[in-house]
Structure 1
Amino acid sequence: MKIKNILPLLMFLISFSFYAQNEKVDEKREKIKAYKVSFLTTELELTSTEAEKFWPIYNAFDDKQYELRHEKMKTYLRKLDDDKINSISEKEAATLLSQIESTDKELYLLREKYMSNLKKILSAKKILKLKKSEDDFNRKLLKQYRDKAGK
């Protein structure tokens, strides 16, 4: 087989591999999200009325936060790896810093709006319980990840 014939096949296989990896990441994210919903539902003991109002607010916040943290910030952080950071100009660094600050501000405003919306439907005590439950969930998830990696 000639190189001309192999190259398109190789490119197809590489692109398929990247697509499959993205699909696995999305699948894992959905599994984690389902596990988190189950965990928070149990921990918060929401009434049906609270749950009906809570989950749309929580899911919208969670999706937007994920988008900001993982999609925007990853783009910035890729530019900060050791090789690239030493070669960017001061102007490029200032632009990147400005973009990071802007995303941080977006995250802050998003969290502020989220808290404001939560206060309309949940008591302060349940909001604190939510915060603790999220922290507990993250620790539990990290522990599972570490246990899996250690095997």
Structure 2
Amino acid sequence: MKNKIFTIILLFVSISTFAQLDKEKSYTKKISEKLKALKVAHITEQLDLTKKEAEAFWPIYNAHEEEKHKHFESSMKKRKDLDIEKLSESEAEALLKEMQANEEAKVKSEKAFIEKLSKVISYKKIVKLMHAERTFKRKMIEEFRGRHREMRKD
């Protein structure tokens, strides 16, 4: 009898935990989608793309953002559970070489991105894009800091 009660309680706790994880994933996804929409609006406003330019620009931009995200995920996954103190010299060397290769791949990707973009928008707009991305990032950091300060006051 005690085993059945324990099993039922364990089942409810498990379901509750999974429900909470789903809520957190859903919340994170909503935030991510909102940020992406804000970024798209900011870039659109800053670049003042024509309809023709926008139709060609966004697929290239979105593919590049996805590629950058994959590089980031790959890099983070490898370093997430890394215990630097336990690394052997050969493991550290391999890690550094891998990090360098990842950086080189990012630079190569950025060059290819600019090359593709230059066929659909002017170089001046590409420079504006880079500026728009920096200003968006700065705005988001300032927003986060402001909200964090507000929370501390409460």
> Aligned AA for 2:94?
T
- Deviation of 1:96 (Å): 2.6
**Against the structure 1 CA distance between its residues 3 and 105, is the aligned structure 2 distance closer, same or farther, given a 3 Å change threshold?**
farther
Equivalence for 1:145: 144
> Aligned AA for 1:131?
M
> Aligned AA for 1:74?
M
CA contact (8 A) 1:79 1:85 kept: no
TM-score calculated relative to the size of structure 2: 0.84
CA contact (8 A) 1:44 1:126 kept: yes
- Deviation of 1:64 (Å): 1.4
- Deviation of 1:66 (Å): 1.5
Which residue among 29, 32, 44 is the counterpart of 1:29?
32
Q: CA RMSD in A?
A: 1.9
- Deviation of 1:78 (Å): 1.1
Q: Which runs of 5+ in 2 are unaligned?
A: none
1:95 paired with 2:94, answer yes
**Against the structure 1 CA distance between its residues 9 and 87, is the aligned structure 2 distance closer, same or farther, given a 3 Å change threshold?**
farther
Deviation per residue, 1:11-64 (Å, 9 max, x gap):
343344333323322221111011111111111111111111001001111111
CA contact (8 A) 1:76 1:100 kept: no
When Rg is computed on C-alpha atoms for both structures, the one with the higher figure is 2
Equivalence for 1:123: 122
Q: How many residues align?
A: 147
Equivalence for 2:9: 6
Q: Which runs of 5+ in 1 are unaligned?
A: none
Identity %: 30
CA contact (8 A) 1:40 1:130 kept: yes
Equivalence for 1:110: 109
* Worse-superposed segment, 23-32 or 137-146: 23-32
3-state SS, counterpart of residue 86 of structure 2: coil
Equivalence for 1:77: 79
> Aligned AA for 1:145?
F
3-state SS, counterpart of residue 120 of structure 1: coil
